[in-house]
Amino acid sequence: MYDVIVIGAGISGSTTARELSRYQLKICVVEKAEDVCCGTSKANSGIVHAGYDARAGSLMAKLNVQGNQMMEAASKELDFPFERIGSLVICCAKADIPVLQRLYAQGKANGVQGLEILGKEAVMAMEPNITAEVVAALYAPTAGIVCPFTMNIAYAENAFENGVEFRFHTEVKKIQKVEDLFEIETTKGLLQAKCVVNAAGVYADRIHHMLSAEPMRITPRRGEYLLLDKTAGAHVSKTIFALPGKFGKGVLVTPTTHGNLLVGPTAVDIIDKEGTDTTAEGLARLRKQGGDHVRNIPMEKVITSFAGLRAHEDGHEFMIAAAKDCENLIDCGGIASPGLSSAPAIGKMVAEIVVEKLSPRFNTQFYGRRKGILSPARLSYADRDTLIRENPMYSNIVCRCEMISEGEVVDAIRRSLGATTLDGIKRRVRVGSGRCQAGFCTPKTMEILSRELGVRMEEIKKSGSDAQMILGKNKEWL
Amino acid sequence: MLIYDIVIIGGGPAGLAAALAAKEKGIEQILILERDCELGGILNQCIHSGFGLHIFEEELTGPEYALRYIEKIEAFKIEYRLNTMVVDICADKRVTTMSQADGMCVLQAKAIVLAMGCRERPRGTLHIPGFRPAGIYSAGTAQKLVNMNGFMPGKEVVILGSGDIGLIMARRMTLEGAKVKVVAELMAKSGGLQRNIVQCLEDYGIPLRLQTTVVEIHGKEHITGVTLACVDEAGRVIDSTREYVSCDTLLLSVGLIPENELSLKMGVKLDMRTNGPVLNDKYETNISGVFACGNVHHVHDLVDDVSKEAEKAGTYAAMYVKGGA
Amino acid sequence: MEKKNLICIACPLGCALVIVVENSAVLSVTGQKCPRGEHYAIKEITNPTRIVTTTVTLIGGDIERLPVKTESEIPKDKIYDCVRALKGIAVKTPVYVGDVIVENIVDTGVDIVATNTKRTRTSG
């Protein structure tokens, strides 16, 4: 029996679990996928928004600004990449300047610091690759970029280190409230809890309706992206937005924390909650439209494309509250953009609601720091030399594009909540995310996984349970 | 700091031939740096025959062709370091390497021959929509898994791209027990050699569909099929020709790109058309004393041509060192 | 009398051959740029043959497979029998290029030989 079961090991579930681990609570995170960060959290822009987009007075506005303010300290404490690079909203028509001014005023009302409306010259000086048609831009110096995988993983690892249990491949099928306890039927058996946190991403409405009659509808809003090679990473130095429209913030162009260039997302509402496939139309639109406000994007340097689903709630608001008709069900739904930016504040807020319900004591053993995976590339040659002599695995390069060593791959597998799949390794240490897109490293990474996990090569998966990398041995079918 | 006359980056066919040519011109201090555990480069996984008709006047397999050079390297006692990654090269020809044996190590070269070869174009450059399931491999990665590790990516295979590696892999997969359903080629003509179309596809009844491409990938976790469609003269997809083909493996053989990350970092100028360094008639880059040859220069169809080019580059590198520059 | 078109596979040039055949006998071959073309054409019409390359299991080396080939060409219709016969064959290091791995594979009179030298793994 648990005090709290958190459904979903994405960014919201993980920040919530970590904040709850500050208390003496028996906590379990259940996740239907094989790893943390497998849904919306793994396929987004990786942007830490400044906080001027959301309607003044909304929860979204409040948590975005709070999350943004908390991000720097969190990134240091939990060792994940975050850079406050600033953002620009580009306005290309004089007639649209009022829209920019409204955003500025909204930002001010939301408490966003340092906002400025810049004229053409100032914008061009800041970003030479902006379209010459720019007339003005909203500059937000507090906006930033974060590595969404590492952030999610860091929170989850720290939660785990502080006693939170994680159950993977565990999909919630049914929840019943029997007296004061939740009985949660999963694909891995029955679990019981006093309190349930619903952080199920695009499935949050389904989980919610297992227990509550209050309305909630989450529509998967697909966003497709193009990722460009690192040689294109300096094309812009800040996150460049178009003016916001009906479907959100439009297509952005941004450097990533790893030095790539990202163009996207599109925004199309779909029905399939698993619809993370890219489309011909979406990719074509990005290639064409990506250049609307940024000039000469070197599209020949695209190394991959992907799609993610935003958990769009009908009212475009975060649905973070205790359900009125079901005691101790805490919803954390509708976490679409700026969900990642808000995540540190979301975790804190959800935890506070739970604490109010269960009145737990503090966990005096709580240790809030987490050390990331050592990256030898960031060491001096002398330190790297010492490291290699201590552990020769750091000299064996597995991924040539990103120059990732066997030492880092092994760390990714052996650490708390370690990787069990190729994609899990990729999210932790970027093996296979470079320009050759796993051409060279795949056989090597598979061998290391096989050795470290003690499984046959045929059992190595790219991601979930059906994603075998190889189906047999030579001549087996002859 | 160790000083060498010539440091050769890469121990594949280009690096080996360049080293031998330089040695024959009387250069003593030569060092080959190889990141893999053996010399020979990609030839080691090219177990099919067809190499060496020009240079050795006989048909050799990839490993046999490489071995001819490796035996000479051993006989001439040319120094090489295996499992050694070149981390950085400075324009002043200082080379930083990393290996278990030597840790981080800095060498000074009088001349450098770049012979890093090339890599395969990945799926992402093709803009094929769909999920990103397991079962999609570049042909060379599959070749390594099958020929070096002994594992089969799958049983029912579709190959996109009819470059030589794609054609060769169609035959390899067939002879190891898989069914290759079709090789699709976007262009009106295969990029591979005619002999490979005959002996890799026609011999086994594998259809080659020209002006056809993969327009969609099906399957979320593991690939379950692809949609093929014909393209018109302008390369536009003809929707009425869309056809679903089930498969558990998609191999991509859609081109090779010279691997010039180290060259770029040290300031070598590249030709945007070939992605290889701009060379003068002595196979020298814009940096004096830095030469390039083989597939890092431009992608060659035949290894014999790589060896011939590398011999010249090695010879010019030797002359550069002897000239005392 | 019958005309047949073949692409010569003797070298990368891939000459387009025109062969005149009567009662399974080759009367003439044209289109080749060297004598190997004629040789190939006659064989391809009368008794087509191929070199077969594949791998067998290697024990004790750095990698798990040893590349091998038929030392000379074998009849085309024996290719599958040949690779099937190699299923389950394992060789221990050291192996040297040219070493005979299987003699007289599927009664073709042709040996399977190693196409690489593989020494015993020295480390990890």
Give the Cα separation of B307 and B291 in Å (integer). 14
**What are the residue numbers of the active site of A?**
49
The answer to which of A58-72, A279-293, A328-342, B293-307 has the lowest mean pLDDT is: A279-293
**Domain shared by C41 and C87, yes or no:** no
Burial of A313 (0-12, 13-18, 19+ CB in 10 A): buried
Give the Cα separation of C89 and A395 in Å (integer). 35
| DSSP state letter for B205 | T
Per-residue pLDDT tens over the stretch A155-176? 999 999 999 999 999 999 999 9
Residue range(s) occupied by CATH 3.50.50.60 in chain B: 2-119+256-322, 122-252
Give the Cα separation of B240 and A101 in Å (integer). 49
Report in angstroms the alpha-carbon separations of A445 from A203, A422, B80. 32, 7, 26
A378 in contact with B, Cβ within 8 Å = no
Give the Cα separation of C80 and B52 in Å (integer). 26
- Give the per-residue pLDDT at C123: 57
pLDDT at A105 > cutoff 90: yes
pLDDT at A450 > cutoff 50: yes
Q: Tell me the β-bridge partners of A43.
A: none
Q: Tell me the β-bridge partners of A167.
A: A30
Distance from C62 to chain B by nearest Cα, in Å?
A: 8
Spell B283-305 as b/e; 16+ CB within 10 A means b: bbbebebbbbbbbbbbbbebbbe
Q: Find chain B residues with C-beta within 8 A of C82's C-beta.
A: none
Provide the whole-model pTM: 0.95
Distance from A384 to chain C by nearest Cα, in Å?
A: 22
Query: Which residues, 6 or more positions from A24, have their beta carbon under 8 angstroms from its beta carbon?
Result: A360, A361, A362, A363
Query: To which CATH superfamily is domain B122-252 assigned?
Result: FAD/NAD(P)-binding domain (3.50.50.60)
Nearest CA in chain A to C83: A475
User: Which one is the CATH code of A2-41+149-218+316-358: 3.90.1150.10, 3.30.1360.120, 3.50.50.60, 3.40.50.11290?
Assistant: 3.50.50.60
**Domain shared by C87 and C35, yes or no:** no
**Domain shared by C37 and C65, yes or no:** no
Give the Cα separation of A14 and A168 in Å (integer). 13
Give the Cα separation of B268 and B291 in Å (integer). 10
Nearest CA in chain A to B124: A304
- Give the per-residue pLDDT at C117: 97
**Residues found in chain B:** 325
Q: Find chain C residues with C-beta within 8 A of B64's C-beta.
A: 97, 115-116
Distance from A406 to chain B by nearest Cα, in Å?
A: 12
Cα A401–Cα B98–Cα A416 angle in degrees, nearest 5: 65
Per-residue pLDDT tens over the stretch B243-284? 999 999 999 999 999 999 999 999 999 998 889 999 999 999
- Give the per-residue pLDDT at A289: 80
Give the Cα separation of A299 and A242 in Å (integer). 19
**Domain shared by C88 and C38, yes or no:** no
Q: Using CB atoms, which chains have 3+ pairs under 8 A with C?
A: A, B
Give the Cα separation of B11 and B21 in Å (integer). 14
Give the Cα separation of A291 and C15 in Å (integer). 48
Strands B49-51 and B60-61: antiparallel
Query: Which residues, 6 or more positions from C23, have their beta carbon under 8 angstroms from its beta carbon?
Result: none
Query: Which residues, 6 or more positions from A66, have their beta carbon under 8 angstroms from its beta carbon?
Result: A342, A344, A345, A348
A225 in contact with B, Cβ within 8 Å = no
Does residue C94 fall inside a structural domain?
yes
C123 in contact with A, Cβ within 8 Å = no
CATH topology for the A376-459 domain = Arc Repressor Mutant, subunit A (1.10.10)
* Per-residue confidence band for A247, with pLDDT thresholds at 50, 70 and 90: low
**How many alpha carbons lie under 13 Å from residue A437 in its C-beta half-sphere?**
22
Give the Cα separation of A467 and B220 in Å (integer). 9
Dihedral over Cα of A443, A448, A449, A453: its sign = positive
- Give the per-residue pLDDT at C124: 45
Give the Cα separation of B128 and B121 in Å (integer). 13
Tokens of A337: 């953009």
Spell A104-114 as b/e; 16+ CB within 10 A means b: bebbeebbbee
Across the 325 residues of chain B, what is the mean pLDDT of every consecutive 10-residue run? Answer: 96 98 97 97 97 95 98 98 97 97 97 97 87 95 96 98 95 98 96 94 98 96 97 93 98 94 96 94 98 97 97 98 78
CATH topology for the A84-144+219-313 domain = D-Amino Acid Oxidase; Chain A, domain 2 (3.30.9)
Name the strand (E) or helix (H) holding A173: strand A172-178
The mean per-residue pLDDT over the stretch A143-153 comes to 98
Nearest CA in chain B to C76: B203
Tokens of A101: 């001014």
Give the Cα separation of B319 and B26 in Å (integer). 10
Q: Which among B85, B155, B249 is the nearest to A397, CB-wise? A: B85
**Domain shared by C64 and C84, yes or no:** yes
Per-residue pLDDT tens over the stretch A212-222? 999 999 999 99
- Could you state, in order of their start, the residue ranges of all structural domains in chain A? 2-41+149-218+316-358, 84-144+219-313, 376-459
**Domain shared by C35 and C62, yes or no:** no
Q: Do B177 and A287 touch (CB under 8 A)?
A: no
End-to-end CA distance of chain B: 20
Distance from C83 to chain B by nearest Cα, in Å?
A: 7
Give the Cα separation of B271 and B275 in Å (integer). 5
As a whole number, the mean pLDDT across chain A is 96
Q: Find chain C residues with C-beta within 8 A of B47's C-beta.
A: 53-55, 67, 69, 115
Q: Are B263 and B278 in contact (CB under 8 A)?
A: no
Tokens of B91: 């324009």
Nearest CA in chain A to B104: A385
Fill in the amino acid letter for A39.
Answer: G
Q: Which of A240, A237, A239, A223 is nearest to A292 (CA)?
A: A240
Dihedral over Cα of B64, B65, B68, B72: its sign = negative
Per-residue pLDDT tens over the stretch A289-331? 876 789 999 999 999 999 999 999 999 999 999 999 999 999 9
Q: Do A478 and C84 touch (CB under 8 A)?
A: yes
Q: Which domain holds residue C64?
A: 53-114
In the block, residue with structure tokens 């950085």:
B88
Q: Does domain B2-119+256-322 have CATH number 3.50.50.60?
A: yes
Q: Which of B121, B124, B179 is nearest to B152 (CA)?
A: B179
Does residue C119 fall inside a structural domain?
no
Count Cβ–Cβ pairs < 8 Å, chain A vs chain C. 11
Q: What is the pLDDT along chain C (124 residues), one digit of tens a residue?
A: 899 999 999 888 899 999 999 988 899 999 999 999 999 999 999 999 999 999 999 999 988 999 999 999 999 999 999 999 999 999 999 999 999 999 999 999 999 999 999 999 875 4
Mutate which of B193, B200, B306 to test chain C, going by most C C-beta atoms within 10 A? B193
Look at chain C and report how many structural domains it folds into.
2
In B223-319, beta strands by DSSP E: 225-230, 243-246, 249-252, 256-258, 290-292
Give the Cα separation of C118 and C63 in Å (integer). 9
Give the Cα separation of C28 and B52 in Å (integer). 29
Give the Cα separation of B241 and A332 in Å (integer). 46
